């Protein structure tokens, strides 16, 4: 056993079940807490800023490059 303390997310998320953390691969599925389509960005419950080009700004300042999800109808035929 090791007693490494778990990293806790700031008590920003009041949802049940809790939203994925900003470190999670699933971070984009956190709830929207602010949506500014006219400015092209949204703030997620876990502190991630999601841009409309699918780029992300994480709460710790990291930038995630845009990674547009493939349209499901194209995944099947993707070469």
Sites of contact with Zn ion (CB under 5 A): 13, 15, 19, 31, 45
- Of 13 and 48, nearer to Zn ion (C-beta) is 13
Q: Kindly state the smallest distance separating residue 78's Cβ from Zn ion, in Å.
A: 32
Q: Kindly state the smallest distance separating residue 79's Cβ from Zn ion, in Å.
A: 38
Instruction: Please answer whether residues 29 and 20 qualify as being in contact, where contact means their C-beta atoms are separated by less than 8 angstroms.
Output: yes
- Of 29 and 70, nearer to Zn ion (C-beta) is 29
Q: Kindly state the smallest distance separating residue 2's Cβ from Zn ion, in Å.
A: 28
User: How many residues make up the chain in this entry?
Assistant: 79
Q: How many Cβ atoms are within 10 Å of 22's Cβ, its own excluded?
A: 19
Q: 41 by DSSP, 3-state: which?
A: strand
Instruction: Please answer whether residues 4 and 26 qualify as being in contact, where contact means their C-beta atoms are separated by less than 8 angstroms.
Output: no
- Of 50 and 71, nearer to Zn ion (C-beta) is 50
């Amino acid at each position: 056993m090791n007693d490494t303390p778990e990293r806790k997310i700031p008590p920003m998320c009041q949802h049940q079940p809790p939203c994925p953390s900003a470190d999670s691969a699933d971070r984009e599925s956190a709830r929207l807490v602010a949506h500014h389509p006219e400015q092209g960005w949204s703030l997620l419950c876990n502190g991630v800023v999601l841009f409309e080009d699918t780029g992300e700004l994480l709460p710790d300042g990291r930038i995630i490059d845009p990674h547009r999800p493939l349209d499901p109808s194209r995944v099947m035929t993707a070469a």
